[in-house]
Amino acid sequence: MSFIDLRDFLAHLEKAGDLARIRVPVDADQEMTIIQHRAMAAGGPALLFENVVGSPYRVVTSLFGTRRRTDLAFGGDPAALGQRVLRLSRTLMPPSVKGMVRARRDLLALSTARMRKVGNGPIMDTVADPPDLNRLPVLTCWPDDGGPFFTLPLVHTTDPDNGSGNLGIYRLQRFDGRSTGMHWQIEKGGGFHFHRASSMNRPLPVSVILGGPPSLIAAAVTALPEGIDERLLAAYMMNRPLDVIHRSATGHRVPARAEFILEGTVTPGDMQWEGPFGDHFGHYSHAADYPVFRVRRVLARKDAIFPATVVGKPVQEDFYMGEAIQEMTLPLLKIIRPAVADLWAYPETGFHALAVMSVDERYPREALKHTLGMLGEGQVSLTKVMITVDRRVNVRDMAAVSHALWRHLDARSGIHLLAPTAQDTLDFTGPAMNTGSRLILMATGGDGRPLRGEPPRHVPAPADLHPHVRDTAALGPAFLMVQVKAACRDIAPLRRQLRHHRSARDYLFHIIVSDDVPLTDRTLMLWGWFTRFDPLADLYPAGRTVVGNRLIFDFPITIDARWKTGYPKPVEFDPDVEKRVDRMWKTLGLPDC
């Protein structure tokens, strides 16, 4: 099933009882965030706010708030989409008439992955020149955000050299009625285009698309190889061409059935302070100077609907979108790396903080080759911790990964610390923005014989360790989780106690987390662990040995994953806004949450 635009998608959801119309006045300043969070936590419907305080436009959120809705937006099972391309590559290589006949259905689907130029479309219903962005119901999601942010903008640019297109989602802080920030992070296609335009000392035309076919949003999030236009992927998901209108003002082809399009430019040297912003790592990102997007005009459909999303501590919409994207792209990955059985970036950690890969190792140390190769691929290169295991291990089950590490992680050859490296812009744990380190753990099994015998059977009680320990839990035999009180400033005594305690010493890693990280909630446990440590700065092995030119770590290794001074705050709701939402809840027509 495919949808030609956002309204087609919403009509389907409403017919299926998966859309709630909220007709009472709701403020885009934090109230929508809390309502969406509660509705998502209850597995609730997409939300259409029809009476937005201070704006004539409606807002839709939680479009991807369940896996069912996410799969619908992708046009079906995401894994099946990837398998279709994989099947084509295997059937048509080497090319033959017989192979083309066998692949005729897949080839027919692939032939629709194109853009179809049309003379007009609903997006041309109204043109505001000059624009007034203050009329748009832009969300302020968290109390300490730097201002209102566009959270679901599809930013289209073209390469100044060769004209190839890129579509990505980059947050835009609304500065005033005619300008926003342009938060281009490293490894982003739009940022590469701006870099080339800057080298030519010329402005870069930008078209920001809001709404349109839901597959367009899904495609914009997908990390495709540089130079491949995400709009073609959207058409492939829809199984029909994407209708576009050529705009002479920008030179861009824009979706004819979008809800809004902001047209303008980003100019080299035109910078403004942007942020902070509560991002998908569950903390406020650091504020910094970013390019300014100068909006020249706004195109809009009649009665346009403003799409938005919320990011923060998991689980949010990006959790389900990220899962679907990984399932779709894994078959494509196998085309270039057949030895890779599976790869899973954990959405609980913001994706870039932890990835686990399974490999079919055919000769000694082959898995390390594929691990280093993957860490050179696109946005996977921003992975902070990469764990590589044997193909028989379920990479999506952290307990199974922990058992693989217990059996096969050799401190002499399986731990690789890389520093300094580039780092995700939103990762705040490194010494400076965009910089950090990498940790590689290799546990592929070698000759198949385990390195260790019986795994640890007991979890030490908090009272047996240190007065500042609040809770303990095991995540498989490799990881002992230790939650400490906020008063715990110096962890050196605790590290020593863990190293020698009869129940704790057999775990490979001791993970120390802050008291806001519940050890009873696996999702938040992984969130609090992987978003709050830098491998170079926060690993404390029991001992270090230099062998030749190589540094060898001794187990157990303590990881200090506490929140530290200098880190941005984790996001939390404003209690006063929560109380307002409590008072209005009965009028929203949503289930009790």
CA 532, CA 184: separation in Å to the nearest integer? 23
Of 259, 151, 144, nearest in space to 209 by CA: 259
Of 526, 524, 533, 528, nearest in space to 557 by CA: 533
172-176/242-247 β-pairing: unpaired
| Half-sphere exposure at residue 192, Cβ-oriented, CA atoms within 13 angstroms | 17
What 8-state DSSP symbol labels residue 29? B
CA 399, CA 272: separation in Å to the nearest integer? 45
Task: Tell me the DSSP string of 203-220.
Answer: -EEEEEEESS-HHHHHHH
CA 46, CA 34: separation in Å to the nearest integer? 14
CA 136, CA 149: separation in Å to the nearest integer? 11
CA 26, CA 142: separation in Å to the nearest integer? 15
Contact 421, 173 (CB under 8 A): no
CA 37, CA 405: separation in Å to the nearest integer? 35
CA 88, CA 541: separation in Å to the nearest integer? 48
On the question of a cis peptide bond just before residue 291, with omega within 30 degrees of 0, the verdict is no
CA 222, CA 380: separation in Å to the nearest integer? 12
Contact 325, 230 (CB under 8 A): no
Strand ordering across the sheet containing 550-561:
469-475, 479-484, 509-513, 550-561, 539-547
As a residue count, the chain comes to 593
Cα separations in angstroms, 335 against 86, 93, 179, 211, 391? 7, 11, 42, 32, 17
Neighbours of 419 (CB within 10 A): 15
Contact 219, 231 (CB under 8 A): yes
3-state secondary structure 396-460: CCHHHHHHHHHHHCCCCCCEEEEEEEECCCCCCCCCCCCEEEEEEEEECCCCCCCCCCCCCCCCC
On the question of a cis peptide bond just before residue 462, with omega within 30 degrees of 0, the verdict is no
Catalytic-role residue among 279, 342, 424, 534: 279
Q: Can 243 be counted among the known catalytic residues?
A: no
Q: Which are the contacts of 279, defined by CB distance < 8 A and separation ≥ 6?
A: 171, 285, 311, 312, 426
What are the residue numbers of the active site?
A: 279
